[in-house]
Structure 1
């Protein structure tokens, strides 16, 4: 190819990589938050102020995630909880990674080892195909579509960028080289503050030196500088050797104890599962039911170990004759080593752990295919067809991640003997306000794992919604016995106690929830409601304001604080809060109703009637709205409309005492004293405080009418 054609090919390659990555993830932009997204983003108050870097630094138990958390803070600052912005960010990172893979392969061909290599004339095609497979593979979806696994994709960006900058520096001279090396060091540090997988970067750079950069006098000096990074890491992160002895209980195969040795044994078949998924990406699963292995001579362990050893030896031997193949294989082993050796992690297998290793594995496979045939055209066609198939599978996989029900239904189909999918599906149905459906899944989760406190606690919530309060209380108590530090369960039990009229017990539970989790906004909201109902308006205001500070996206505390302001006669403040609530939830019928009440109190009847009508469009059976609108109609002499509204209020809530009382007033105005008397007696029966004088007045009018009739 002449240089002009080569430049055109490279430009088209970059456009194709970017276009493909954008196209296949376009259908993921509206996918919901899932699983760890709740813990890392939705319920993480530390990321709600981009200026508070101290809070963001402490958002995780370890500062090795600071950079990723700061990007979440930026997303929150710009988009709040609109998932589109988060997904766009992840997709852009993925596209950049695809471009960096292309750039790294191209630069490897410019190294001393690859100059003049027979594959050199095919460098542009090899770089393009490697990048396309990396971008299109459905195994990557868990690091792209799954928002919080930006940890993996963003760390990969810094990893690849460091490699590219390092290669650029090694081919440059003097000042440009120094700039590249400084930039590479900065990128490496950013990666180390994104996810710990970046700690292997020094080993990868040493591998590049030994495999591709043959200048003997500078090689060992360079390797020595790189090796210093291995000493920097423990210093920065206060590395404790005890991390290698951590023991856990497996969440991949519930209840299995995990030690560093059993974790290592289990990784033998896990790694082959990853490799199988690379070649045959079927049966992808967010939550694998993967057993733990405890003995080296268990068949899956010994077979996996032998196979991986052979693959590793093949990679080492290939470095001489086929350096790109060997480099790709060893890249795979180096980059996956942090999460797939002796450091015990509760989940033994997650697909996003293959995101960074995929770059090396793809390079090795594509290069091996190209090297193994004399017909490069056939290889090009085969790989492009493979890319097309992978792209379709990625689009389909993104559909699975659409919402909690679609995702966990897929998991349940593939891991039917685990309790966590049943629990998560039950929670998804609760979030859709379908407690009956949720209850079925939560029952199954508990039968599979009686110690699953989340399932027990959420079953309590489902039972509460279904009105089975005694059973719900038993479940909350059981959940707290299983996990005494569950702030959510204390909060939910507090709601139940409040519903049962046991306000003292409810207050104790809300206090306990807040003490366990001081940034738990919903607990402040609920305690504020309790204070408001008991007339402690200042305490209620303080709690609602605290909830808003912790999570400004919540709409309930604005609505509730607005009610307190209304009760205090602070109508402008009340209106401002109801407006804020409606900005966050446009179809919030309660806020429309409450704002209508404020407008009514301010004698802005037209605005009040408009809000009442809007509330009824959202909730057709909103009895309180019918009642209050009926009062306005009655006050304006529109008795037929008033009666119509009071009738609807009573139809939708037969125990609504105020509606009976107000209807009796209209009946009095129309002279229908018998109905007025029946309604006022019903109102009193239901608990309405009715003055006896009013009842006597109606009875007197009925008697007078009777006398008049007799006289006639």
Structure 2
């Protein structure tokens, strides 16, 4: 890195010429920002010398090694929760529909409604095709084996930490306000920011949780865009400058098709260029114009998708396109509640305790409720403190960076915590991008503490602060390992979640599903009953309870539960999973004719459904019609030829048929 930079020019000189000795502590302060801007030069002050290539390589090596040690051992943990919803059970993903919306937008957006699937599948596919393309590569490599999915996630997180180190280094070295900043400060701030980010357990959900590659990948592409944009500022050759800016635009467009969080990145670029790098606002806007022009992409896609699904332009539908359909929140409720969520994220950044995959959170509707007032006080105090430091120490780039990082936090978190209501009020992965600003802020303050003293105390602080920073990284790393261990099995993950969110029916339902998959059906039944105590209309809970009762050979209870589900939804029997469970329950209590009728209805809708052919074959076998059983078993075998259970069923039916044909 240093070799490449020495070949460039700074203010008409080579970097070797511009690298003057670090000013003494009592050197005069640099000129005010307004005076520097009026000179019409990129910078009239010498930038701090950068660390050598060996130092950069060592820091990068430490970051990569830290991320690997914290996460590689989780590679074979099972998929969980939305990994199944948006990958395994997603008809768009299985058909490889990435970027297919470009062929026929309306047909693609309305496809879920025609096949009876969740409309969110189309919304996700349209808004995040780059993420799904990366998942498709994993799928083609090794199916749904979680190993390579997670290793890619780990690599993305490691690269993000390296990009944070690079971005902070570029910002501090290119800033007009960094003339008095020592080389050790640039290195300390950049390295500390990246290490805190790499080690913090809040990142667990964005790395170990496979589907949240949405979050880590958008950060990778966004940071790449920012690094290229800032690197282009001091490049003299026009073609190289525009090449870097072109790369920044391409990276941003890819980020915007990865996750909606990238929407605010152009504003972040302009803000950092203006405040930290010292460009005038007008110049920062002009330099960032190619990025700013990309911003309409996300809202245009949102409005187009809502219009296609609703049959015409509908502003309200677009603004609520991902809102909960069961218990939707209005924008005011969501915004007020999210004020308390922001302080929760901040608290976890400084004290990561009680992390939870699916937390309970109250909905607030007034600014004058106690928790909301407290959150407002904390957030307002944070902004005013940063503003006060910025005004008082405007010539110290570290305090300018502190103010810019507070703005980073609020600007980036606004996408998920202000603009559009999301189904869940709290999700730890939403703090992944905003946390970068907070970690850079902490690193700047630590460096000021490290270098602001004099005499014997200065020597103590120069050693003590880095030791403290390393101790924090070590403690965060330990906490990350502890949190990762919770993800070891689906049972341990949902046991932890239920312990922290016992009042949420979804947590009980998912723990029940985990127990059911592990063959622990008695425990599964208990969990589904707890879920139904919280929400008696929980249809998936009723369906799963019926299936667990069937596995325990309690068909009468299973039938009663299935009928309870049908009473809640008169169209439930048109859904194959419900109809299948109903058929098995009817067969279990000896109502074979009704069971046969149910299974035949399923096969009219899905002629090659293997499980239904098996079930119908079993009913025919039990009712003394093995020849009809064989007909259905053979159809199932043609669809699924390597099914060992089918081979056993066919053999048993053939034996029964032979016995039936013998003379008596």
TM-score range, shorter chain: 0.7 to 0.9
Give the SS at the match of 2:482. helix
Q: Any unmatched runs of 5+ in structure 2? A: 1-21, 23-47, 103-107, 110-120, 305-313, 454-460, 621-626
Find 2:133's aligned residue among 70, 74, 81: 70
Deviation, structure 1 residue 229: 2.7
Give the SS at the match of 1:689. helix
**CA RMSD, 1 decimal:** 3.3
1:590 to 2:664 alignment: no
- After superposition, the C-alpha distances for 1:428-470 in whole angstroms (9 at most, x for unaligned) are 1111122111111111111122122121111111111111112
Give the SS at the match of 1:341. helix
Q: Any unmatched runs of 5+ in structure 1? A: 546-556, 563-577, 582-588, 598-623, 629-656, 663-687, 694-712
Give the aligned partner of residue 459 of structure 1. 545
TM-score normalised according to structure 1 size: 0.72
Q: Quick one: structure 1 residues 221 and 410, their matched pair in 2 at CA, closer, same or farther if it must change by over 3 Å?
A: same
1:218 to 2:307 alignment: no
> For the residues of structure 1 that align with 2:52 and 2:442, how far apart are their CA atoms?
24
Give the SS at the match of 2:422. coil
Give the aligned partner of residue 356 of structure 2. 285
Give the aligned partner of residue 6 of structure 1. 52
Q: How does 1:431-580 map to 2 (within 5 A)?
A: 431-483=517-569, 484=571, 487-497=576-586, 499=588, 500=590, 502=592, 505=595, 508=598, 511=601, 524-529=609-614, 535=628, 558=640, 562=641, 578=642
> For the residues of structure 2 that align with 1:331 and 1:199, how far apart are their CA atoms?
13
Give the aligned partner of residue 260 of structure 1. 331
Find 2:66's aligned residue among 2, 9, 20: 20
Give the aligned partner of residue 362 of structure 1. 439
Give the SS at the match of 2:472. helix
Give the aligned partner of residue 689 of structure 1. 660
1:394 to 2:480 alignment: yes
Aligned residues: 563
Find 1:60's aligned residue among 109, 113, 122: 122
Find 1:412's aligned residue among 488, 495, 498: 498
Deviation, structure 1 residue 122: 1.4
Q: Quick one: structure 1 residues 170 and 4, their matched pair in 2 at CA, closer, same or farther if it must change by over 3 Å?
A: closer
> For the residues of structure 2 that align with 1:331 and 1:506, how far apart are their CA atoms?
62
Give the SS at the match of 1:32. coil
**Maintained 8 Å contact 2:270/2:285:** no
Deviation, structure 1 residue 376: 3.3
> For the residues of structure 1 that align with 2:226 and 2:50, how far apart are their CA atoms?
27
- After superposition, the C-alpha distances for 1:499-533 in whole angstroms (9 at most, x for unaligned) are 55636645646755996xx8xx9x82223335766
1:190 to 2:279 alignment: no
Give the SS at the match of 1:372. helix
Q: Quick one: structure 1 residues 510 and 148, their matched pair in 2 at CA, closer, same or farther if it must change by over 3 Å?
A: farther
Give the aligned partner of residue 706 of structure 1. none
TM-score normalised according to structure 2 size: 0.77
> For the residues of structure 1 that align with 2:437 and 2:56, how far apart are their CA atoms?
21
Q: How does 1:237-256 map to 2 (within 5 A)?
A: 237-238=302-303, 241-242=315-316, 246=320
**Maintained 8 Å contact 1:49/1:73:** no
Give the SS at the match of 2:140. helix
> For the residues of structure 2 that align with 1:54 and 1:531, how far apart are their CA atoms?
38
> For the residues of structure 2 that align with 1:105 and 1:5, how far apart are their CA atoms?
13
Q: Quick one: structure 1 residues 544 and 67, their matched pair in 2 at CA, closer, same or farther if it must change by over 3 Å?
A: farther
**Maintained 8 Å contact 1:443/1:459:** yes
Give the aligned partner of residue 202 of structure 1. 266
**Maintained 8 Å contact 1:244/1:342:** no
- After superposition, the C-alpha distances for 1:87-122 in whole angstroms (9 at most, x for unaligned) are 111111111111111111111112233431425541
Deviation, structure 1 residue 60: 3.1
Deviation, structure 1 residue 495: 3.7
> For the residues of structure 1 that align with 2:301 and 2:234, how far apart are their CA atoms?
30
> For the residues of structure 1 that align with 2:95 and 2:195, how far apart are their CA atoms?
37
**Maintained 8 Å contact 2:70/2:477:** yes
**Maintained 8 Å contact 2:509/2:528:** yes
Q: Quick one: structure 1 residues 514 and 187, their matched pair in 2 at CA, closer, same or farther if it must change by over 3 Å?
A: farther
Give the SS at the match of 2:561. helix
